[in-house]
Every structure is written in C-alpha cells, then in structure tokens.
C-alpha cells in the first residue's frame, strides 16, 4: 500500500515523479510562528542538486522551491506548508528499451509485479529525484529544532574508508564527496572517475551526527527514536543498511566495553558525562543527551552502462544497458538526504515529547 507520508505529529507527504511536471512535499503539523522563507530551504536543495560536479548526474535541475501555503508574513501559520519544485530538465528521450525490459537492481520488476504497469520514464516514482522533496521538507524540520545541529558526511566509498584520525569537519563542504578526510577525498576522486569511465558504479556509507538533542526524546517501543531513524533511513532510495552508534560493531563488544560509563555532569551540561557513545545517543529508544549517530549503507547505483542479463516484460532473456545521466555513486548525494531525514525524525520526536511530557 502506498504510504507517501512520514511522521506522527510533524508529518510530511511527498508526491511527484522523475519526469512529471513537478514534485513536492506537504508538511503538516509544523508549529506556528516560525520564520520561514524559500531562502531558508534553498541552500539545502542546492547541496543535493544534481549537475554540480562530474561525480554526480549531469541532469541540470535548478531545484528552485516555491512555498505555496502555510506561511504568512514570513512566519509559519500552523497549517500545511506546500512546497513545490518544478522539473525542468526531463530530457525527452526514447524509453522504448526501459519500457520493454527490467533493469536489474532497479524497482522495475517489483513495481510491475505490484501495480501491473509502471511509469518507466526515469524510474517514475522510484527515482531518487523524489529525495529533493524530502530535503525541502527537512529544511522546515530544521527550523523546528534550532538548537540541534545535524551533519552528514560520507565515510566510505567503494570500500575505501576515511581515516578517523584525519577527520576535519571543515573539509566536508570543500570537496564534491561530503568527505571529512582530505586524503580520502583525493583517493575517491580517482576511484569514482574510474568507475564512471568503466560504466560501473560504487556504493557508499554515510554517517550522520545530530548534536544538541536533549535527553528524553523518543519512547518505547514501536516509535523508539532509533526505530524511527531506521525506518526513515531505510526509506531512502538505494539504502540497504542502518546502524546506530556502534551498530554491527556492538555485536562484537563485551558488555563491559559496550556500556557507556557515566560520570557526574560537567558544569554547564544538562546531562551526565558519558565516557563513550557506543549507544549512539539512544538508550531504550530514548535520547541520552549524547550526539545521535547513525550510519547508512548505500548500494551502488543500479543504472550502469555495463550490460547486465535481464528479461523483458514478456519473460524473454535479454541484456540491458542503462544509458542516460546517472550518479556514479548515488550515496554521495545521499548525505543531504540523510541529514533531512534526521531532521524530520527529530522534529517529530521533539513535538511528541512535548505532547506527552509537557
């Protein structure tokens, strides 16, 4: 069943396809009186925007957002905020081949199996272009949690990980990979170039950290903060794994290593001092006051120039090559999307906490 809405009290609904006239999001439940204009949203869209380097798709989309409702005299009114982004560069091309055969790794076959037919132009609704709407909605969410800072960056491409000792937050905005390790960014340039030229593609791991989340957000049991984050991240196109804090690594720790030891609160802090953050800022589904840390695995882009065995809609064997303009590593542009989903979850959790606990 199609559920294109996310959130419990701070909610958003997205709509639109890769090659339709526009796409958008309706944000509902936003608190009133928050300063908001298109200029607050656009920078986040610009970070995700395609066509800005040779390491992303060459589709040229200005991704200019329009606020169609919910804001009056520069402030949110508490009513639905409708955000629209027009599609500009839907290149008219021949989709005959894509229409006839399934691209492995794509949702072509599964959509067809479910719905009986599909909008095959650029992937239709399954296109990562939908994530522009999330990023726009995420910018509204950020305005709801002004004390929280959210930063996502790429920690691994094609199996080549950053060196944590080289971590420098200032680097992230300086290279086309959202990479905090200058040396890794240099290596990735060659790696991604090579994959692109070979008609191949690479996977990536994105890490996202939210600081300033007070202790107490989230709840048992089926809307745990980490459960909501897992759902949010896994809903992003091409994501195959999500972990919180030490994540899969925690399964290799012993109890005494994993438990984040606590010391009395340091002056000026509103929470205990923790000697580690294996929990990733979430215990029992509730934030601890430590940074919330999530890692997200993106598979390699499925649209590649390398021929792959597949079948036609009629069940005949064939090979397929996906021409067109594609990201050689879709995980790179995933970073701003992961940030947006983090913001959307946290804004919802802030309001939910306020609802129950005042």
Footprint (CB under 8 A) of a copy of itself, residues 40-99: 66, 68-70, 72-73, 75, 77-82
Q: Which stretch binds a copy of itself (CB under 8 A): 37-45, 48-56, 108-116, 174-182?
A: 108-116
| Member of 145, 227, 340, 346 binding a copy of itself (CB under 8 A) | 227
Instruction: Indicate the residue among 177 and 217 with the shorter CB distance to a copy of itself.
Output: 217
Contact indicator for 295, 206 with CB cutoff of 8 Å: yes
| Nearest distance, CB of residue 179 and a copy of itself, angstroms | 15
- Residue 24 interacting with a copy of itself (CB under 8 A): yes
Distance set, CA 172 to CA 54, 195, 340 (Å): 17, 22, 16
> Which one of 10-18, 34-42, 47-55, 162-170 is the stretch in contact with a copy of itself (CB under 8 A)?
10-18
Q: Is 138 exposed, middle or buried (0-12, 13-18, 19+ CB in 10 A)?
A: buried
CB contact burial 4-24 (16+ within 10 A = b; e otherwise)? eebbeebbbbbebbbbbeebb
Cβ-count burial 239-252 (b if 16+ within 10 Å, e if not): beebbbbbeeeeee
Coil/strand/helix, residue 31: coil
The reply on whether position 107 binds a copy of itself by CB under 8 A is yes
Residue 201, interface with a copy of itself (CB under 8 A)?
Answer: yes
Minimal distance, residue 228 CB to a copy of itself, in Å: 7
**In terms of CB distance, is 297 or 335 closer to a copy of itself?**
297
Decide whether 157 or 170 has the Cβ nearer to a copy of itself: 157
Q: Is 113 in the site for a copy of itself (CB under 8 A)?
A: yes
* Token reading at 239: 């994501």
Nearest-Å Rg of the Cα atoms of the chain is 21
Full DSSP string of 140-156: HHHHH-TT-EEEEEEEE
Name which of 151, 210, 148, 138 is nearest 178 in CA terms: 151
> Total number of residues binding a copy of itself (CB under 8 A)?
156
Minimum distance between the CB of residue 111 and a copy of itself, rounded to whole angstroms? 6
**Closest alpha carbon to 127 in 217, 20, 245, 248:** 20
According to the binding rule CB under 8 A, does residue 175 interact with a copy of itself? Answer: no
Residue closer to a copy of itself by CB (options 2, 96) is 2
Helix (H, G, I), strand (E, B) or coil at 7: coil
Q: Which of residues 236-275 bind a copy of itself (CB under 8 A)?
A: 237, 240-248, 250-265, 271-272, 275
Closer residue to a copy of itself (CB): 170 or 339: 339
Residues across the chain = 358
| Closest distance to a copy of itself from the beta carbon of 122 (Å) | 12
Residue 156, interface with a copy of itself (CB under 8 A)? yes
Can you tell me the distance from the alpha carbon of 250 to that of 243, in angstroms, rounded to the nearest whole number?
A: 10
The least distance separating a copy of itself from the CB of residue 170, rounded to whole angstroms, comes to 25
Contacts to a copy of itself from residues 290-329, by CB under 8 A: 297-304, 306, 308-311, 315-317
Q: Is 20 a binder of a copy of itself (CB under 8 A)?
A: yes
Closest distance of CB 254 from a copy of itself, Å: 5
For residues 4 and 25, give the distance between their C-alpha atoms in angstroms, rounded to a whole number. Answer: 10
Q: Does 14 bind a copy of itself (CB under 8 A)?
A: yes
Residues 16, 24 contacting (CB under 8 angstroms): yes
Shortest separation between residue 202's beta carbon and a copy of itself, angstroms: 6
């Amino acid at each position: 069943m199609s559920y294109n809405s996310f959130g419990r009290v701070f909610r958003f609904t997205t709509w639109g396809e890769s090659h339709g006239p526009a796409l958008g999001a309706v944000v509902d439940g936003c608190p009133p009186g928050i300063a908001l204009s298109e200029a607050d949203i656009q920078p986040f869209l610009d970070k995700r925007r395609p066509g800005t380097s040779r390491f992303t798709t060459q589709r040229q989309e200005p991704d200019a957002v329009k606020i169609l409702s919910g804001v009056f005299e520069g402030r949110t009114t508490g009513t639905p905020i409708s955000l629209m982004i027009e599609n500009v560069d839907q290149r008219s091309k021949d989709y005959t081949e894509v229409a006839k055969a399934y691209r492995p790794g794509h949702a072509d076959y599964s959509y067809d199996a479910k719905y009986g037919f599909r909008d095959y132009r650029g992937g239709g609704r399954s296109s990562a272009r939908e994530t522009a709407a999330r990023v726009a909605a995420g910018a509204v969410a950020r305005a709801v949690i002004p004390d929280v800072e959210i930063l996502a960056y790429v920690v691994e491409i094609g199996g080549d990980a950053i060196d944590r000792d080289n971590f420098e937050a200032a680097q992230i905005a300086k290279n086309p990979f959202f990479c905090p390790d200058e040396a890794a960014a240099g290596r990735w340039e060659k790696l991604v170039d090579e994959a692109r030229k070979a008609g191949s593609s690479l996977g990536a791991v994105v890490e996202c950290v939210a600081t300033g989340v007070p202790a107490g957000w989230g709840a048992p049991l089926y809307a745990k903060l980490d459960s909501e984050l897992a759902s949010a991240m896994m809903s992003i196109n091409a994501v195959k794994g999500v972990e919180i804090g030490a994540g899969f690594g925690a399964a290799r720790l012993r109890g005494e290593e994993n438990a984040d030891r606590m010391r009395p609160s340091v002056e000026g802090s509103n929470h205990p001092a923790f000697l580690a953050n294996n929990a990733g800022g979430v215990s029992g589904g509730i934030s601890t006051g430590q940074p919330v840390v999530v890692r997200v695995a993106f598979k390699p882009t499925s649209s590649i120039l390398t021929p792959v065995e597949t079948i036609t809609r009629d069940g005949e064997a064939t090979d397929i090559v996906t021409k067109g303009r594609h990201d050689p590593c879709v995980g790179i542009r995933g970073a701003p999307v992961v940030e947006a989903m983090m913001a959307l979850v946290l804004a919802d959790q802030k309001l939910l906490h306020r609802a129950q606990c005042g």
